[in-house]
Amino acid sequence: MSAPSGLSDAMIEATCTTNVPKPTNNLTNPLLTDLYQITMAYAYWKTGQHLRPAHFELFFRKNPFGGSYTLFAGLDEVLKFLAHFRFTEEDIHFLRNTPQLGHCEPAFFDDYLSNLDCSDVVVHAMKEGSMAFPRVPLLTVTAPLGIGNLIETTLLTLVNYPSLVATNACRMVVAARGQFWEETAGCSPPLKESKVSSSPPRSSGFRGTPRKSVQMAEGGMTDIRRRKPKCVEFGLRRAQGPDGGFSASKYSYLGGFHATSNVLAGKLLDMPIAGTHAHSFVQSYTSLDLVKDARLKRAAKVGEEAGDEMVVLLPIVLKYRQQLDYNETNDGELAAFVGYAVSFPNSFLCLIDTYDTLQSGLRNFILVSLALNDLGYTPRGIRLDSGDLSYLSLECEYLFHEMAERMDRGFFYGLDIVASNDINENVLNSLNKQGHAITMFGIGTNLVTCQAQPALGCVYKLVEVDGQPRIKLSNDMEKVLIPGRKIAYRLFGEAGWPLLDFLVCRNETQMPSVGERVLCRHPFIEQKRVAVVPARVVKLHNLVFDGKNGVVSGLPSVEQTRQFVNDQINYTRADLLRYINPGEYKVSVSDETFRFLHQLWQKETPVPELR
Amino acid sequence: MSAPSGLSDAMIEATCTTNVPKPTNNLTNPLLTDLYQITMAYAYWKTGQHLRPAHFELFFRKNPFGGSYTLFAGLDEVLKFLAHFRFTEEDIHFLRNTPQLGHCEPAFFDDYLSNLDCSDVVVHAMKEGSMAFPRVPLLTVTAPLGIGNLIETTLLTLVNYPSLVATNACRMVVAARGQFWEETAGCSPPLKESKVSSSPPRSSGFRGTPRKSVQMAEGGMTDIRRRKPKCVEFGLRRAQGPDGGFSASKYSYLGGFHATSNVLAGKLLDMPIAGTHAHSFVQSYTSLDLVKDARLKRAAKVGEEAGDEMVVLLPIVLKYRQQLDYNETNDGELAAFVGYAVSFPNSFLCLIDTYDTLQSGLRNFILVSLALNDLGYTPRGIRLDSGDLSYLSLECEYLFHEMAERMDRGFFYGLDIVASNDINENVLNSLNKQGHAITMFGIGTNLVTCQAQPALGCVYKLVEVDGQPRIKLSNDMEKVLIPGRKIAYRLFGEAGWPLLDFLVCRNETQMPSVGERVLCRHPFIEQKRVAVVPARVVKLHNLVFDGKNGVVSGLPSVEQTRQFVNDQINYTRADLLRYINPGEYKVSVSDETFRFLHQLWQKETPVPELR
């Protein structure tokens, strides 16, 4: 089967690799499918239809999270699955003995299923990480009817969640950057780290007046330079199963996250991992006695070796406790921080809300930080996991800045303030409004489970058999299929932004080209039309799998895809990124496709009778 | 390490097995964890704390879905994980080269991690499938601090989603049974299949008057005997990754579902699988020519062999088309149904909404059904995947009953009406109110992603170190920990229902016993108390894993657990199963535990200063 005409056939000649790794998850195999794919395969085989040439499109009908775009992800696992598609003898044995299939002719198993692989399957797809829009195929499958159907469910499973979580992550990264808030506050990103001005924003120091602290924070906003907050994925424990967690780590990184807490993702994907300690760590230290002998070396200065002398940390800490009059802080917590400091002196970051954030945790962190810094180390920061994150982060920042001046320690200006605890897109936007000093968000449940919308409704539809376009009707207009095998283009304007996506049936004579006026029509609504003279035309699908030759090589790394996502977001109209009432990106069809669709629709729709 | 005193030590003597299968998912291994578990382990090891005896509890704080109960699930995979817990050389190599751990002493990797397994871990757990309530541990871990912490994230990942989806499934099964609706309608379940009375409920036959059809359906309800609808899981394609799908199949079955579409679940778990065909199957048949020669044998009669004569089906179908004047139905659809009938004559069930449900699909099904029945087969039914499921199901049932009488075919009374398309608990309750004739619900997205609440917030907390109870405070009362190692009981009343759960610190002298009055206190609110004289006392946790001896044998099969779930639901107070404003099940502590908790709470809470 050759590539669809008009698509870049030349790519078939690119180096192909048959040395594709197996799917990451051992559950990803041909039986990971719905039974109806097998029963249909039998009916096709039994009635001699299984080899008819067919064409399928995998797409979604609506962007998730009330947004205006979706990131396409999961392609690499799709290719691994296709490259290794084979029923094992054990699989065949199981199917043969399944009650529903018990009566099937033996030849179905012996001749057909046992010998089936994806050598007759050709897949074209968008580049992984592409911004995608409703009804534009993420990938297309050209294959005989039998095998083309058999892979449906698994392909959907492998694309739906990765695309959803990548999109969710990207939206959160955009929200965390708070670009709209920064704009209205008069700061232009990117902000660089620098010493604070003489009048830092601060709250009143009293938990009862958050309103005041918010106003002050907003008022002072132009005076303070803050780093753009980064996002880190913390969701493994709340994910929907082990690979819900693993995929979340991978695809949230692709969507712009900075790191994950998931060690396995670090190992298998070579991506950054992050983590320090939990509440249980703090609780487990019951007294200062447990760390009275804890020692560490002085840090090496630039150009020098670290000395061999082991210094006991606790006495220095207690000296500062005396000096600052922080005698009421929790001893167990202080012990835990000392224990953590001697273990991770170069990356000392403490969770400070186990007992009381401001009265105990923050102060204990300051004490140990000062002692660590005496030995030449630069502490890294704190994590807040409960309470009013706006208020607490500003309070922490204020005390850090005060300490910086009072104790003359510059490191206090560079500390990270990490915030976690049920962060979602809405909380991020709200924190931006209230003002905060958070430099990093740890996001778990809402990211990995995509709480705001836990499923992307990708579908996989037959659009052509034997070269004949097929339609599926529905009373719900959104569910009507645009029939036929289509070529998808993205048309760009002179300013470099994408203007709209444009679908053309492959047998049409006229394809869009640069500088030529083209009529773009809404697929369903007759009155919605727009004429476009594109400054650039990009064909959206490339050949990625050619069954005869295997996977077409040159798939980008996660890192490269992450960069591609970032580049696209930076070149996206601001209204499409808006949280409330985002603008809509147009997906249109050619005039010829429009006419053909409506003609077929009319023909296949019976006229109901009212009696 | 021995089992906690008071818990059934005798069970340790039960046969133990070290021959435990590996975790089902290859991603379930010791690196499937948060990095902070490793950094904490290093800090414990570095400060000499890693071997201190500790006790952890895994529990949740709030029932999901606004409900009153949660089903505990995932235990079997937890045990497999623990039994095989070992870092590989490759894992150690990776960790050693992780930037955050680069400075760690080599002995941490070589002496500690490389030799670490779960031989010092003891786990007690509720029986899998138990109804569980907030703050009562699902399982407890007694282990040295280091390893006890290292397994936290993975245990949470393995319990959170299975428990969530089992609970979701159970709620849907309860809703689908529609017990409240049946009660108010004056029918008492279980209803058995029987021939309909002479005045079946029906709608007006006109799509424009659903209101009328609803009223008629409700009015006629006492006249018709319907089967309790069953639920089938269809969610693989929308699941959060391959094992999100696999786990959903397994745990929704455990929660009371009848079958799954997921073939792999059928193979690996020996559970029922179901499925027929999709819209694409119907679309792919373009004309009647494709099945003009499709044949099948006559069905064998009881006591006879099937004949060898192959009968062509289409002419019989066309004869009925003529007779019933169904000439306007879609030819392609009719061809598809004929193709499916010759392939699955014993389980003929058709999706009827590809073109038009009532004008085409339903009629085509009837035509092929009559022909199949002529050859001695009993057709199975139809599936609706769009539109007004209440109205359409009643219309279909009405026509089936009409056909049964007009054509004198009894099989029309026994047909299944399967409904799918975005079914959730709310839709089920609403369908019960409106009236419907659905016998089986196919539930996908909302079940497997748990759309109504996609994460259960299980936590894993350190409650004791070195025999000392530990507390974690929080401004949010719900998040305060009940400190210390506790024994959990379920107290039953004389009527056989559970009255409440009761937690007692293990070192207390008085445990609850049958016939003795015991004071049960709300853990946090002083005024909430109740005195109970239990008729039965059940200890909730049993030893399930003893590191020295492996997994304690005798874990129930999925089938047995499913039965256990069903038995519990049948013995649950009706108000706890209510959809809106369900009753609350009490979780209480002993008077001694209450006093101890509040004493420790007071002691560890610093008094904030207002200046």
pLDDT in tens, B484-531: 999 999 999 998 899 999 999 988 888 999 999 999 999 999 999 999
Q: Do B339 and A43 touch (CB under 8 A)?
A: yes
**A387–B contact, CB cutoff 8 A:** yes
Q: Do A263 and B38 touch (CB under 8 A)?
A: yes
Structure token digits, residue B455: 């994460």
| Strands A498-505, A486-492: pairing kind | antiparallel
Position A479 confidence tier, pLDDT thresholds 50, 70, 90? confident
In this structure, chain A runs to a length of 611
Helices and strands in chain A: count of H runs, count of E runs? 20, 24
**A60–B contact, CB cutoff 8 A:** no
**B209–A contact, CB cutoff 8 A:** no
pLDDT higher for A123 or A188?
Answer: A123
Position B225 confidence tier, pLDDT thresholds 50, 70, 90? low
Least confident segment among B79-93, B313-327, B464-478, B551-565: B464-478
Q: What pLDDT was estimated at residue B224?
A: 57
Contact residues for B487 (Cβ-Cβ < 8 A; gap 6+):
B4, B6, B7, B503, B504, B505, B506, B511, B539, B541
**A376–B contact, CB cutoff 8 A:** no
Beta bridge mates, B143: B54
**A24–B contact, CB cutoff 8 A:** yes
The stretch B104-118 carries a mean pLDDT of: 97
Give the C-alpha separation, B375 to B380, whole Å: 15
Burial annotation B347-379 (CB, 10 A radius, 16+ → b, else e) = bbbbbbbbbbbbbbbbbbbbbbbbbbbbbebbb
Give the C-alpha separation, B120 to B148, whole Å: 9
Structure token digits, residue B211: 């209101």
pLDDT higher for A480 or A383?
Answer: A383
The stretch B243-252 carries a mean pLDDT of: 93
**Helix crossing, B558-570 with B152-177: angle to 10°?**
60
Query: What are phi and psi for residue B375, nearest 5 degrees?
Result: -90, 10
Q: Do B161 and A241 touch (CB under 8 A)?
A: yes
Q: Choose among A443, A425, A422: nearest CA to A579.
A: A425
Cite the DSSP H helix spans in B539-590: 558-570, 574-577
Q: Do B31 and A267 touch (CB under 8 A)?
A: yes
Q: Choose among B106, B86, B89: nearest CA to B147.
A: B86
**What is the sign, positive or negative, of the torsion defined by CA atoms of A177, A178, A182, A188?**
positive
Q: What pLDDT was estimated at residue A571?
A: 87
Amino acid at A334: L
Q: What pLDDT was estimated at residue B182?
A: 39
Beta bridge mates, A520: A530
**A283–B contact, CB cutoff 8 A:** yes
- Residue A421 gets the label, from left (phi > 0), alpha (psi -120 to 50) or beta, of left
Structure token digits, residue B393: 């199901």
| Strand ordering across the sheet containing A468-469 | A16-17, A550-552, A542-546, A122-125, A139-144, A53-59, A459-465, A468-469
Q: CB of B492 within 8 A of CB of B537?
A: yes
The DSSP-derived string for A276-302 is ---HHHHHH---GGGGTT-EEEPPPPT
Burial class (CB in 10 A: 0-12, 13-18, 19+), A327: exposed
The DSSP-derived string for A456-525 is ---EEEEEEETTEE-----SSGGG----S-EEEEEEE-TTSSEEEEEEEETT-S----TT--EEEE-SS-
Q: What is the pLDDT of residues A172-205, one digit of tens each?
A: 999 998 743 333 333 333 333 333 333 333 333 3
Position A206 confidence tier, pLDDT thresholds 50, 70, 90? very low
Locate the DSSP E strands across B24-87: 53-59, 70-71
Facing A281 at nearest CB: one of B40, B207, B286: B40
**What is the sign, positive or negative, of the torsion defined by CA atoms of A333, A338, A339, A343?**
positive
Which residues on chain A are in Cβ contact (under 8 Å) with B277?
Answer: 36, 39-40, 43
Q: CB of B508 within 8 A of CB of B560?
A: no
Give the DSSP H/E element, type plus range, for residue B374.
helix B362-374
Amino acid at A36: Y
Q: What pLDDT was estimated at residue A18?
A: 60
**Helix crossing, A314-324 with A362-374: angle to 10°?**
120
Beta bridge mates, A259: A232
Helix, strand and coil content of chain B, in percent to the nearest 5, comes to 40, 15, 45
Beta bridge mates, A465: A54, A468
Contact residues for A19 (Cβ-Cβ < 8 A; gap 6+):
none
Q: What pLDDT was estimated at residue A349?
A: 98
Beta bridge mates, B504: B487
Q: What pLDDT was estimated at residue B350?
A: 98
Give the C-alpha separation, B164 to B456, whole Å: 6
- Asked if pLDDT for residue B272 goes beyond 50, the answer is yes
Q: Do A291 and B44 touch (CB under 8 A)?
A: no
**B276–A contact, CB cutoff 8 A:** yes
Q: What pLDDT was estimated at residue A17?
A: 57
The stretch B354-373 carries a mean pLDDT of: 96
Q: From the CB of residue A611, how many other CB atoms can be counted at a distance below 10 Å? A: 5
Contact residues for A471 (Cβ-Cβ < 8 A; gap 6+):
A480, A481, A483, A597, A600, A601, A604, B283
Q: Choose among A496, A591, A572: nearest CA to A534.
A: A496
Q: What percent of chain B has pLDDT over 90?
A: 76
Q: What pLDDT was estimated at residue A556?
A: 85
Facing A145 at nearest CB: one of B238, B284, B359: B284
Which residue out of A36, A57, A207, A443 would a mutagenesis test of the B interface target, given it has the greatest number of B Cβ atoms within 10 Å? Answer: A36
- Asked if pLDDT for residue B465 goes beyond 70, the answer is yes
Q: From the CB of residue B238, how many other CB atoms can be counted at a distance below 10 Å? A: 26
Structure token digits, residue B198: 């002479």
Give the C-alpha separation, B330 to A471, whole Å: 13
Contact residues for A17 (Cβ-Cβ < 8 A; gap 6+):
A550, A551, A552, A553
pLDDT higher for B570 or A550?
Answer: B570
**A602–B contact, CB cutoff 8 A:** no
| Strand ordering across the sheet containing A498-505 | A529-532, A518-521, A586-589, A498-505, A486-492, A536-539
**B94–A contact, CB cutoff 8 A:** yes
Q: What pLDDT was estimated at residue A168?
A: 98
Q: What pLDDT was estimated at residue B552?
A: 79
Locate the DSSP E strands across A43-84: 53-59, 70-71
Give the C-alpha separation, B535 to A313, whole Å: 58
Q: CB of A450 within 8 A of CB of A164?
A: yes
- Asked if pLDDT for residue B12 goes beyond 70, the answer is no
**A478–B contact, CB cutoff 8 A:** no
- Asked if pLDDT for residue A66 goes beyond 80, the answer is yes
Q: What pLDDT was estimated at residue A475?
A: 66
Q: What is the pLDDT of residues A386-432, one digit of tens each?
A: 999 999 999 999 999 999 999 999 999 999 999 999 999 999 999 99
Cα end-to-end span (Å), chain A: 50
Q: What is the pLDDT of residues B126-149, one digit of tens each?
A: 999 999 999 999 999 999 999 999
Q: CB of B334 within 8 A of CB of B361?
A: no
Computed over every residue of chain A, the mean pLDDT equals: 88
DSSP SS3 for B523: coil
Query: What are phi and psi for residue A248, nearest 5 degrees?
Result: -60, -40
Amino acid at B491: L
Q: What pLDDT was estimated at residue B181?
A: 38
Give the DSSP H/E element, type plus range, for residue A382.
strand A381-384
Q: What pLDDT was estimated at residue B553?
A: 64
Which residues on chain A are in Cβ contact (under 8 Å) with B236?
Answer: 32-34, 153, 157
**Distance, in angstroms, between B451 CA and closest chain A CA?**
6
Q: CB of B212 within 8 A of CB of B204?
A: yes
Beta bridge mates, B545: B123, B551
Burial annotation B395-433 (CB, 10 A radius, 16+ → b, else e) = bbbbbbbebbeebebebbbbbbbbbbbebbbebbbebbe
Q: What pLDDT was estimated at residue B444?
A: 96
DSSP SS3 for B53: strand
Which residues on chain B are in Cβ contact (under 8 Å) with A234?
Answer: 34
Q: CB of A390 within 8 A of CB of A210?
A: yes
ipTM entry: 0.89
Give the C-alpha separation, A197 to A443, whole Å: 31
Q: What percent of chain A has pLDDT over 70?
A: 88
Q: Do B355 and A27 touch (CB under 8 A)?
A: no
Within its chain, how far is the Cα of B105 from the centroid? Answer: 45
Computed over every residue of chain B, the mean pLDDT equals: 88
The stretch B102-116 carries a mean pLDDT of: 97
